[in-house]
Amino acid sequence: MSTPLPGFEDFGGPVGSAPPGEALGESSGAGSGGRGAPAAVGHAPGRRQLAPGAVHVPGWLTLAQQRELVAACRGWARGPVPIRHTRLPRGGTMSVQTVCIGWHWQPYAYTRTADDVNGARVAAFPEWMVGLGRRAVAEAYEDAAAGDGYTPDTALINFYDGQARLGMHQDKEERSDAPVVSLSIGDTCVFRFGNTRTRTKPYTDVELASGDLFVFGGPSRFAYHGVPKVRPGSGDPACGLAGGRLNITMRVTGLG
């Protein structure tokens, strides 16, 4: 992978590293603690349910948490599997750039090694991110038990420059119907959240800004969704990104 990433350069930290998550271990209004800690339920101002099981929580991450996540993602983007434009089976590449942790996703399966990139085993899914996922689910669903029962084991980390898009698709390679937790950092995007039957209407367009949380599970887990537009220059560089948009989706693969 040799492509420079506008707005995502100046990678920090050693290859494959992730920070201990000092800010990420703190409450973001959603409780605290790591993997073993119970996910407490906090108050989420602006929380909005788009459909049953699909919840948007604006401004869920603090700026400090966003910066830590950006630093962690920069480390993962360097390796052991570098971030890349995913190649599609019928030719062509995705405009978004992706790196995975825990499990490697390529269309349309999960593997431990990135056989379509460099054959390396992907970085481990860190404990602190499990805790973050638990707090996200608890907060979005206002249900501590839902958070406690959530153990994500993979994340797709997508970087969008101003031109990148993501077509309407379902996340359906997982053998689990546990929720998907989506965190957005940097430029605002239009996130299109549809229905479970077709990639066309009806759908709802929602703006996902830096720090926003979006969780989709339950009856919405297999809804079509996509990113038709990113708004270049809309992000605050204090989030750690000079430009572009970073999105992290945590999932439970259900694979052993």
Is 225 assigned to a binding site? yes
Q: Is residue 97 involved in binding ligand AKG (CB under 6 A)?
A: no
Consult the annotation and say whether 171 binds a ligand: yes
Q: Does 101 bind ligand AKG (CB under 6 A)?
A: no
Q: Roughly how many angstroms between the first and final C-alpha of the chain, as a whole number?
A: 29
Distance CA 167, CA 94 (A): 9
Q: Is 169 annotated as a binding residue?
A: yes
Least spacing, CB of residue 37 vs ligand AKG, in Å: 27
**Window 133-162: contact mask with ligand AKG (x via CB under 6 A):** -----------------------x-x----
Question: Does residue 106 bind ligand AKG (CB under 6 A)?
Answer: no
Question: Would you tell me how many other CB atoms lie within 10 Å of the CB of residue 92?
Answer: 10
Binding flag, residue 171, ligand AKG (CB under 6 A): yes
Residue 110 contacts ligand AKG per CB under 6 A:
no
Residue 66 makes CB contacts below 8 A (sequence gap 6+) with 185, 210, 211, 239, 240
Smallest distance, ligand AKG to C-beta of residue 144, A: 26
Residue 39 or 230 with smaller CB distance to ligand AKG: 230
| Min CB(204)–ligand AKG separation in Å | 14
Q: Per CB under 6 A, which of residues 187..226 are in contact with ligand AKG?
A: 191, 208, 225
Is residue 28 at the binding interface for ligand AKG, with CB under 6 A as the rule? no
The one among 182, 188, 210, 220 contacting ligand AKG by CB under 6 A: 182
CA distances in angstroms from 152 to 22, 104, 124, 180, 183, listed in the order given: 20, 14, 12, 9, 14
- Identify the residue whose tokens are 């929580």: 57
Is the dihedral angle over the CA atoms 39, 40, 41, 42 positive or is it negative?
A: negative
Place of tokens 């983007």: 77
Rounded to whole angstroms, the Cα distance separating 230 from 221 reads 23
Phi, psi values for residue 131, rounded to 5°: -60, -40
Q: Where is the binding site for Fe cation, in residues?
A: 169, 171, 225
* Residues contributing to the site for ligand AKG (CB under 6 A): 156, 158, 166, 171, 182, 184, 191, 208, 225, 227, 247, 249
